[in-house]
Structure 1
Amino acid sequence: MSYDRLTHPLVRENGVLRRATWDEALERAAEGFRRNIAKNGPDSFCMLACARSTNEMNYVGQKFTRVVVGTNNVDSCNRTCHAPSVAGLSAVFGSGGGTSSYQEVEDTDVIVMWGSAARNAHPIFFQHVLKAIHNGARMFAVDPRRTGTAQWAHLWLGLNVGTDIPLAHAVAREIIHAGLHNEAFIERATVGFEEFKESVEPWTLTAAEQVTGVPADAIRELAHAYARADRAQLCWTLGITEHHNATDNVRALINLALLTGHVGRYGSGLSPLRGQNNVQGGGDMGAIPNRLPGFQDLLDPEIRTRFETAWGKPLQPRYGYNLTEMLEAMGEGKVTTCYLIGENPVQSEADSLSCIKRLSMLDHLVVQDIFLTKTAQMADVVLPASAAWCEADGTFTNSERRVQRVRKALEPPGEARDDIWIMCEIARRLGHDWHYDGAEEVWDELRALSPQHAGMTYQRLADLQGIQWPCPSEDSVEPPYLHHRLWETDPVKRGTPAPFAVLRHSPPVDLLDEEYPLRLTTGRRLDSYNTGVQSSGFASPLRRGETVEMSPEDAERLGLVAGEEVRISSRRGSVTAPVFIDPALRPGLVFMTFHFPDEVDTNALTIEATDPIAGTAEFKAAAVRVEKLVKAG
């Protein structure tokens, strides 16, 4: 156990957090919610749920927001990473989950890793990729950096940051001009092909090379390999989704699958790789502002009535604020109280200085966590939770939509209590007599309301070592991949056709110029985890702190040597970090992580420009300059 764990409740008194009893802390939390809701209405409240906690916790959290408070202002860190994947996949197929299983990756012929340093960020998934390569599959890596993932690739396509749509369009155009598109599938299962075909026509191999920096021959090779493969997997992560036009990026990749028929069949599919253990599950449980559990549309009157009957209270018939909108509403005084569970936006959000300012404007902030994070240090009430994976019963849902059981192995330290117990106690103080006799009771309530989870009893989950949704009945055995309906010959069984998207290229918002000539992109490293709260307290044999990685050419041009401390500045802030010279980086590109924000707050540099559909910020494309530090004396 980490000695930094929260072990007792804290309340703020005279500007300082002090130890409190559970009764005092819970009463203080509930009274703050009650007072603000009475004064400013239920929409002045928001909840940020936790993508590392169980499905059951997230279910109760969104129910608390909708039933106890009466608002749909609930979201999770899904907004920071894969909300564009959910939006894009839902717009085309009607559901926001990845379409394939991990086993299919091992059995495929071609893998395209687009904007994904999976070897570092998703090492377990990458083991399946390595097995596929061992079995003879070819992998193509599309990434501005020649990452450890790219080193295993048959071909690396090093594109300029923010040029994914031109590259995808050029691949599509080459497939069409070579006659490699799947005409039968397109005719039977899609709509909008002719408009799409016309929209990609300007993106010749030469035009794409000029914009993306990827050689025309490499684009052609990727196009032919992907289209000719019997089975092909297209995988992506935050290199696609953390942009101001992220949903369009996702739709551009989906277009390629529709063009070739690489979806809805075993071994062929679309896979957004989740970076935390329950990002998929948080959304599935309804911890998002526009969907009820089971990813059911909040605006559908029939669905809403079913939940209102089960929960005994009318629900607001309108979408709530997403995370980005919550922060904006805090700055405008529209959101005045926040219940934040297991997230650390002070250090994870783009333009972190702006985030701190907005959180500081709240009248009441309650943080429920296992560590006293930078965000928790701003709270009025801090509630110690047993959110660590081995301290709670419940389920998680991974990137292949597989729901798996987790079981309590350790008691939480000190006075820390179960997340669901904490929420029920606050609900009781706000007039709702909630009680759940364990996580299974929560799960059974969810199963009764979510058709895609209906057949997943705890016993079946244990017997089968996890089940992928959809699982509509306790005797159902569904294929491991989604959207097989698209291959049906019967139009009724085939259902709604999948639409192609006509998209335009939109360069990064933060423009390069003489003052800020370098492009900063951010990401993860293998040896650390997110904002470092759970990993930076332990010595790593690989890396002990943040660095700014740059090419040998840029280091030489700026007169810098490895290990030298420099100042990195953007239009929003400045930080200092030592130089790490990386030959895998091309000139003009620098790389940093957000793993060590206590020492180097990288997100003080990133821009808050957001995708208008998903609300995800453009973490991957800030304009910066790097300068030698002037020594005193």
Structure 2
Amino acid sequence: MTNTIADIETSDLILVAGSNTTENHPVLSTFIKRAVLKGKKLVVIDPRFVKLANHATTWLRPNPGTDIVWINGLMHVIIKEDLHDNPFIADRTENFDALKDVVASYTPERVEEITGIPAQDIIEVAREFAKATAASICYCMGITQHTCGTDNVKSLANLSMLCGHLGKPGGGVNPLRGQNNVQGACDMGGLPNVYTAYQAVTNEDIRKKYEAAWNVLDMPAKPGLPVTEMIEKAYEGELKSLYIMGENPMVSDPDLNHAEKAFSNLEFLVVQDIFETETTALADVVFPACCWAEKDGTFANTERRVQRVRKAVEPPEGAKLDWEILCEIAKRMGYDMTYENSHEISREICAVTPSYRGITWERIEKGGIAWPCPDESHPGTPILHTTQFTRGKGLFHAIEHQPPAEQTDAEYPYVLTTGRVLYHYHTRTMTSRTEGLNVMSPECFVEISHNDAKKMGLGTGDVVNVSSRRGKISAKLKVSYKAVDGTIFMPFHFAQAAANRLTNAKLDPVAKIPELKVCAINIEPAA
């Protein structure tokens, strides 16, 4: 996030796109709802009538996979009516003319034709967003999990820069992280092309710094594979072994039938987790790890705030800390990786990570600090880009609409989008063990509009077969006001009716994220 969670509450207008915030980020959603109670405007843009839409000033329903179109449409109106922030654009950005040329063709009428959003709604939201003193954009995986996900995010950044809503309180472009400490994992180099603080592995000077810190020679200059490409390499027989920590791809991966074949090709699979899962069942070796409440350390949350985690309970017999397991393996592979405790690891993080250098264990004893924090006298950076962008001037990207990788047809006439429900977390590795949550949400469901259910002659509770070009599952129908005609929603949590047997594994070419939010399906009554 460029801004803090609390800062959202100070916005004059909050635009939430591709996020079922109340169910996926219930704590953060309270800040948005409080802002509405204070008279702030809320615009929700989502293919479903998610719960947050009940609090919205405006809900716009785009056809799935058309986000670039409505964003360009908003910018078209803002530029046409001279509502953009000309001083901000002149002083802090570049490539504006290229953006202006591209969005010129995205008239409200054309946007309505492609997205289904009424032209007048585009005009009104554009005016409100541009005229707000400070407007905040919040988005989640409804924006990113597309083959054009990277361009979707760039488009939202374009919109915010166009109106000068970056680098100030109440503004910003704020991705809502989907899992605990995923921000911290990325910060620590949990990506195939960077070390900590997003320092490129291809940079020789940076590599030499890490070689000296870790006392090794000739660290690889070539980026590794993203996880989605690893699975494909396993399917092709090129990747022979895999080590998985805290992930359950046998439920969460797209096109599960394809993924299962890929895993069957592996010669050696190691899984490190806190419970048995559908993936540990396939493993040659399983390492039992400690959970968050059984260890000391730090987390970095969605607003870049690094916070202490303190051990609350003892782990079960046989479970080890994640870093202890990794150190023991490293020693057996010939590298003496030894730490006394998590505090020592934290000191190393500060030493090799420029943006964390001032975030010492002692300083965050009583409260977190947001990176970047370059030294111990620095207070941290709650709001990014206050005076300049990381690259200097912000770059406008001129982006054209790209349709989803898969289109509906006579055989598969409905669009499937997937997501989460309030009561379960990811693949239910933890939440399925909680009786009360299973009472509230016991099984998978197929959410459908009243009109579509009526056409099929079906109702809530009827069992249906849902099929795509990749697989088929059976689940109960749920007729809901949240659904709109032609679009079906399914949660992906349930292994017994895994929505990811249906989803498309086509990837965004930059981020390598699969297109989990759009695929073509058919629904039929179960025999």
> What interval of TM-score do these two structures reach, taking the shorter chain for normalisation?
over 0.9
Q: CA deviation at 1:102?
A: 1.2
Q: Distance in 2 between matches of 1:591 and 1:200?
A: 31
> Deviations along 1:261-318, whole A, 9 cap, x unmatched?
1101122101000111111110000011011011111111111110111011121111
Question: What is the SS of the residue equivalent to 1:577?
Answer: strand
Q: Quick check: 2:373–2:381 contact (8 Å CA) kept in 1?
A: no
Q: Which amino acid aligns with 1:515?
A: E
Alignment partner of 2:513 out of 609, 613, 616: 616
Amino acid in the other structure paired with 2:471: G
Q: How does 1:299-338 map to 2 (within 5 A)?
A: 299-313=202-216, 314-338=218-242
Q: 1:419 Cα shift?
A: 1.1
1:278 aligns with 2:278: no
Aligned counterpart, 1:604: 501
1:297 aligned counterpart, secondary structure: coil
Residue in 2 aligned with 1:150?
A: 53
The Cα shift of 1:543 comes to 2.0
The higher relative CO (CA closer than 8 Å, separation ≥ 6) is in: 1
Aligned to 2:433: 537
Correspondence for 2:387: 485
Alignment correspondent of 1:257: 160
Shift of residue 572 of structure 1?
Answer: 0.3
Aligned equivalent of 1:576, options 461, 465, 474: 474
Indicate the SS of the match to 1:211.
helix
Matching residue of 2:397: 501
The aligned amino acid for 2:131 is R
Q: Does 1:550 align with 2:452?
A: no
Q: Which amino acid aligns with 1:469?
A: W
**1:168 to 2:71 alignment:** yes
Q: Kindly indicate whether the alpha-carbon contact (under 8 Å) linking 1:368 and 1:383 is maintained by their aligned counterparts in 2.
A: yes
CA distance in 2, matches of 1:398, 1:391: 19
1:150-196 Cα shifts (integer Å, max 9, x gaps) = 11110000110001001000000000011100111111111111111
Aligned to 1:435: 338
- Paired residue total: 524
- In 1, the alpha carbon distance for the partners of 2:112 and 2:91 equals 33
C-alpha displacement of 1:497:
1.0
Measure, in 1, the Cα distance between the counterparts of 2:409 and 2:261: 28
Equivalent position SS for 1:294: helix
CA contact (8 A) 1:239 1:620 kept: yes
Counterpart Cα distance in 1 of 2:64 and 2:509: 19
2:369 aligns with 467
Match of 2:274 in 1: 370
Residue 94 (structure 2) pairs with residue 191 (structure 1)? yes
CA contact (8 A) 2:350 2:358 kept: yes
Tell me the equivalent position of 1:595. Answer: 493
Post-superposition offset of 1:542: 2.7
Rounded to whole Å, the distance in 2 between the matches of 1:421 and 1:542 is: 37
1:627 aligns with 2:499: no
Deviation of 1:479 after TM superposition, in Å, equals: 4.1
Separation (CA, whole Å) in 2 of partners of 1:478 and 1:527: 34
Q: Which residue of 2 is the match for residue 105 of structure 1?
A: 8
Give the TM-score of the pair, scaled to structure 2: 0.98
What displacement does 1:495 show?
6.3
Compute the displacement of 1:325 (Å).
1.3
In 1, are the aligned partners of 2:143 and 2:152 still within 8 Å (CA)?
yes
Structure 2 gap segments, 5+ residues each:
none
User: After TM superposition, what 4+ stretches of structure 1 lie above 6 angstroms from structure 2?
Assistant: none
| Secondary structure of residue in 2 paired with 1:502 | coil
What amino acid sits opposite 2:518 in the alignment? A
3-state DSSP of counterpart to 1:404: strand
SS in structure 2 opposite 1:613? coil
8 Å contact from structure 2 (residues 18, 142) kept in 1: yes
Kindly provide the CA deviation profile for residues 531-578 of structure 1, in whole angstroms up to 9, marking residues without a partner as x. Answer: 111112323343211100000101010110110000000000000000
Aligned to 1:406: 309
Residue identity matched to 1:445: E
Q: Report the equivalent of 1:510.
A: 406
The residue number in structure 2 matching 1:476 is 378
Deviation (angstroms), 1:623: 0.4
Deviations 1:589-621 (A, max 9, x none): 110011111x21110000001100000000000
Structure 1 residue 332, shift from structure 2 partner: 2.3
Residues 349-390 of structure 1: CA deviation (Å, up to 9, x unaligned):
11011111111111111111111111111110011110x110
C-alpha distance in structure 2 between counterparts of 1:404 and 1:359, whole Å: 36
Are the counterparts in 2 of residues 162 and 621 from structure 1 also a CA contact under 8 Å? yes
1:107 and 1:509 map into 2 onto residues whose CA distance is: 38
Whole-Å Cα distance in 1 between the matches of residues 512 and 265 of structure 2?
A: 21
5+ residue gaps, structure 1: 1-97, 488-493
Counterpart residue number, 2:462: 564
Structure 1 residue 392 corresponds to structure 2 residue 295: yes
AA of the residue aligned to 1:288? L
Which residue of structure 2 aligns with residue 216 of structure 1? Answer: 119
Residue 450 (structure 1) aligns with: 353
Aligned to 1:491: none
Q: What is the Cα deviation at residue 584 of structure 1?
A: 2.2
Paired with 2:41 and 2:508, the residues of 1 have a C-alpha distance of 32
For 1:344 and 1:592, locate their aligned partners in 2 and report how far apart those are by CA, in whole Å.
Answer: 18
One-letter amino acid matched to 1:187: A
CA contact (8 A) 1:536 1:595 kept: no
TM-score (norm 1): 0.82
Q: Within the alignment, does 1:203 sit opposite 2:106 as a pair?
A: yes
Match of 2:133 among 224, 230, 246: 230
Aligned partner letter, 2:386: H
Opposite residue 508 of structure 1, the aligned amino acid is P
Secondary structure of 2:433's aligned partner: coil
Structure-1 separation of matches of 2:282 and 2:187: 30
CA contact (8 A) 1:485 1:495 kept: no
Please report how far the alpha carbon of residue 424 of structure 1 lies from its aligned counterpart in structure 2 after TM superposition. Answer: 0.9
